[in-house]
């Protein structure tokens, strides 16, 4: 069975399929060892970890290189972060084909208009549908017609009126599914009521990002399971946890010039633990 089919099966059986976002090969290996059965690549986390910036994205070549290393580090299915496809429909075809060659099982393609410094916006729905079609054809060209296409809409996140944004996300979601998407990833969901309405009104599997500053106190994985969400991504938990652990551990050394507290709290992995991670 291909990893693409494994990912499809997991989306049907796990309900929700929880996919923490990896930012490099080591974080991916840790996610796998923690028992998660699929991994989402995060362009945001990759950029934060490799460039120490939050307001930019990696080039296609940089993103693909890190994604390839993540795929090679684990045995579970990996979903790439294809951003906006890094261009128009003709570019999306080649981009998705390259990710398939890298071994991914799925890919995110978003309708956010990237490159704008102040106002966030979304592209025309018809253009996004062209990108979905191009993504499917790009996957088929490499023998991966079963690649999971996760169409992301930022309608709710960018529109000033949340009711209008939710309605537009629902409208776009149904259009994207009719065009060939397998999942609808709606960003900016802040309440369980919004998640529930998406599940009820969209004719396909819904994906929600959780554990973010704007919704971490409003919904749990259990809540999302109860309302029928098919997939839950955790876009920043891994990278922010790593950042805080490094900051905290090194601050102890800086302030105390001693390692006692580090050893007492078990903050450092021993070489046995490292060997266990690297050896699966």
Whether residue 117 is predicted with pLDDT greater than 60 in this model: the reply is no
Mean pLDDT of 105-117: 86
The predicted structure's pLDDT at residue 269: 75
Structure confidence by residue, pLDDT tens digits, 134-185: 999 999 999 999 999 999 999 999 999 999 999 999 999 999 999 999 999 9
Burial per residue of 168-184, b for 16 or more beta-carbon CB atoms within 10 angstroms, e otherwise: bbbebbebbbebebbbb
Judge whether 60 and 86 are in contact, CB under 8 Å: yes
Report which of 267, 219, 236 is spatially closest to residue 22, judged by C-alpha positions.
236
The candidate with the shortest Cα–Cα distance to 235, out of 54, 24, 11, 41, is 41
Q: Which residues pair with 39 in a beta bridge?
A: 78
CATH code linked to domain 3-235? 3.20.20.60
Confidence of residue 258 (pLDDT cuts 50, 70, 90): very high
pLDDT, one tens digit per residue, over 40-94 is: 999 999 999 999 988 778 999 999 999 999 999 999 999 999 999 999 999 999 9
Domain boundaries, the chain: 3-235, 237-280
Distance, CA of 29 to CA of 117 (rounded, Å): 35
Tens of pLDDT, residue by residue over 191-236, are: 999 999 999 999 999 999 999 999 999 999 999 999 999 999 999 9
Is pLDDT of 129 > 90?
Answer: yes
């Amino acid at each position: 069975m291909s990893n693409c089919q494994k990912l499809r099966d997991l989306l049907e059986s796990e309900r929700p399929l929880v996919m923490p976002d990896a930012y490099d090969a080591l974080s991916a290996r840790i996610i796998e060892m923690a028992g998660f059965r699929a991994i989402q690549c995060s362009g945001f986390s990759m950029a934060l970890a490799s460039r120490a910036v939050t307001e930019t994205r990696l080039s296609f070549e940089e993103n693909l290189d890190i994604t390839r290393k993540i795929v090679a580090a684990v045995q579970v299915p990996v979903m790439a972060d294809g951003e906006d496809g890094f261009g128009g429909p003709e570019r999306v075809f080649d981009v998705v084909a390259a990710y398939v060659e890298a071994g991914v099982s799925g890919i995110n393609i978003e309708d956010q208009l990237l490159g704008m410094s102040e106002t966030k916006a979304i592209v025309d729905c018809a253009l996004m549908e062209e990108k979905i079609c191009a993504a499917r054809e790009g996957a088929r060209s490499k023998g991966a017609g079963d690649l999971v296409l996760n169409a992301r809409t930022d309608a709710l996140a960018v529109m000033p009126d949340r009711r209008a944004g939710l309605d537009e996300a629902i409208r776009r979601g149904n259009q994207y599914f009719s065009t060939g998407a397998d999942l609808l990833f709606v960003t900016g969901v802040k309440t369980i009521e919004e998640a529930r309405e998406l599940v009820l009104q969209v004719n396909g599997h819904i994906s929600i990002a959780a554990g973010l500053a704007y919704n971490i106190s409003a919904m749990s994985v259990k809540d999302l399971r109860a309302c029928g969400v098919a997939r839950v991504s955790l876009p920043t938990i891994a990278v922010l946890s790593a950042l805080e652990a490094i900051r905290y551990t090194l601050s102890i050394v800086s302030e105390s010039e001693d390692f006692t507290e580090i050893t007492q709290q078990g903050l450092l992995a021993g070489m046995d633990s490292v060997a266990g991670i690297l050896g699966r």
